[in-house]
């Protein structure tokens, strides 16, 4: 029991001894992250099971940021899993969504959680967030090894490790299999696209922030060319996947043309503005950057993909915490927009279209 919760329980005991039972009950409920209500007392917050270690409190009271690792013949990755408290009236057995968040170079799970503020949105919307950390033994700069062919296939390297980690958390925490998503920044954005390509059965949609298309490089030299110039050839075909993409048009680390390549790859075709299925709108963050949001629609008018091009934005997470590395706080809130997009795109029911 952490010190905050211990102090609350001691205070609840004092209130009880003084006969102030209603106040004591309300304090205990707050400590458990459950608001006072008329809900069935059988409703309760999560019980965390498995070989996880509680390492920190984050987000709302009662939420857990728990550590674990995934190991196989492909290597080992440590991770953090954020489990928000269920609402007071939520069903305990209700399956919840999961977002896999992949950091950029030089970051780790804790830093990426702070930068993106995704835990705060998880508290509001009720999904879990999984943050792996790249092993420095695998990449000294802390980057995902997206340019290497051995890390571009479903049963090898980092895609295999990350997919295995995701499935493990899904099994241990009762995740809704139709609502599992992946997002990432820079190198993490490329690896997110790779996972969407290599594991289309696992991830319902993908978010790519300042990244590149899947398999856009096969070695360090071709990766450098893509980073500087954008895709040099048509992207490889992948199963079409709902995608939301953020990129700054002043990004000097990853060329903005890569964002268009990601959209084309996710759609499975080059967008055709003549068919009326592309809709663009201009906006501006108060006191911040202007942006163009482009929606790519299906035949029914529903969004298949979104591209947020931030004018004057550089290489960093838009709307990120100002203290986070690679933060672009004056941009639109990429985390909130990704979460919104994801929750609107569950995998179709089997047998559906």
Band the pLDDT of 112: cuts 50, 70, 90.
very high
Query: Is the sign of the CA dihedral 305, 145, 106, 216 positive or negative?
Result: negative
For residue 256, pLDDT over 90 is answered with yes
Q: How far apart are the C-alpha atoms of 134 and 20, rounded to whole Å?
A: 51
Considering just the CA atoms, what is the radius of gyration of the chain in Å? 21
CATH number for 48-343: choose from 3.40.50.300, 3.40.50.1820, 3.30.70.270, 3.40.50.1980: 3.40.50.1820
**DSSP 3-state of 177:** strand
Residue 18 is predicted with a pLDDT of 53
- What does the mean pLDDT of the chain come to? 84
Least confident of 21-35, 108-122, 258-272, 333-347: 21-35
**Spatial distance between the Cα atoms of 256 and 270, rounded to a whole number of angstroms:** 16
Is residue 207 a contact partner of residue 243, using CB atoms and an 8 Å limit?
yes
- Whole-number pLDDT of residue 245: 98
Supply the pLDDT for residue 9.
58
How high is the pLDDT of residue 276?
Answer: 65
pLDDT at 59: 57
pLDDT of residue 171: 95
pLDDT of residue 5 exceeding 70: no
**What does the pLDDT look like over 22-73, one tens digit per residue?**
455 444 444 444 333 333 333 333 333 334 444 443 455 667 899 999 998 8
Cα distances from 42 to residues 39, 61, 90, 92, 310, in angstroms, run: 8, 20, 10, 9, 47
The pLDDT score that the predictor gives to residue 271 is: 73
Using the structure block, give the residue that is written with the tokens 């420095």: 136
Question: In the chain, how long is the greatest CA-to-CA distance?
Answer: 75
Lowest-confidence range among 5-19, 109-123, 136-150, 211-225?
5-19
pLDDT for res 324 = 87
pLDDT at residue 325, rounded to an integer: 86
Q: What is the mean pLDDT of residues 176-188?
A: 97
* pLDDT value, residue 104: 96
Asked if the model's pLDDT at residue 1 lies above 70, the reply is: no
At residue 186, the 3 state secondary structure works out as coil
What pLDDT is attached to residue 17?
53
Question: What average pLDDT does the segment 256-278 reach?
Answer: 84
CA distance 113 to 267: 29
What pTM was estimated for this model as a whole?
0.82
- Tell me the mean pLDDT in the region 175-201: 97
- Give tens-digit pLDDT for 137-167: 999 999 999 999 999 999 899 999 999 999 9
Read out DSSP for 221-249?
HHHHHHHHH--SSPPPP-----EEEEEET
In the chain, where the domains are located: 48-343
Cβ count within 10 A of residue 140: 7
pLDDT of residue 222: 86
């Amino acid at each position: 029991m952490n010190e905050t919760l211990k102090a609350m329980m001691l205070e609840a005991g004092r209130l009880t001894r003084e006969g102030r039972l209603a106040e004591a009950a309300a304090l205990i409920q707050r400590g458990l992250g459950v608001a006072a209500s008329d809900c069935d007392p059988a409703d309760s917050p999560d019980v965390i099971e498995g070989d996880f270690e509680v390492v920190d409190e984050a987000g709302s009271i009662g939420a857990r940021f728990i550590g674990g690792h995934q190991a196989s013949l492909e290597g080992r990755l440590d991770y953090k899993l954020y489990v928000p408290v269920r609402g007071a009236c939520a069903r305990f057995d209700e399956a919840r969504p999961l977002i896999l968040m992949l950091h950029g170079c030089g970051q780790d799970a804790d830093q990426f959680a702070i930068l993106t503020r995704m835990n705060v949105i998880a508290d509001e919307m009720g999904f879990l967030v999984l943050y792996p950390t790249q092993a420095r033994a695998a990449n000294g700069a802390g980057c995902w090894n997206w340019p290497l062919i051995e890390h571009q296939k479903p049963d090898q390297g980092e895609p295999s490790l990350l997919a295995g980690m995701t499935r493990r958390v899904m099994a241990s925490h009762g995740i809704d299999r139709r609502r599992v998503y992946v997002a990432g920044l820079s190198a993490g954005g490329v690896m997110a696209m790779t996972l969407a390509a290599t594991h289309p059965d696992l991830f319902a949609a993908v978010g790519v922030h300042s990244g590149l298309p899947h398999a856009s490089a096969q070695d360090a030299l071709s990766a450098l060319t893509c980073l500087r110039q954008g895709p040099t050839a048509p992207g490889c075909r992948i199963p079409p996947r709902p995608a939301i993409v953020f990129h700054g048009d002043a990004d000097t680390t990853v060329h903005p043309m890569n964002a268009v390549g990601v959209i084309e790859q996710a759609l499975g075709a080059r967008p055709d503005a003549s068919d009326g299925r592309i809709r663009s709108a201009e906006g501006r963050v108060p006191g911040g950057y202007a942006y163009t949001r482009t929606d790519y629609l299906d035949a029914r008018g529903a969004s298949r993909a979104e591209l947020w091009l931030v004018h004057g934005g550089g290489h960093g997470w838009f709307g990120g915490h100002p203290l986070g590395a690679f933060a672009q706080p004056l941009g639109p809130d990429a985390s909130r927009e990704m979460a919104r997009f994801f929750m609107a795109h569950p995998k179709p029911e089997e047998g559906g279209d």
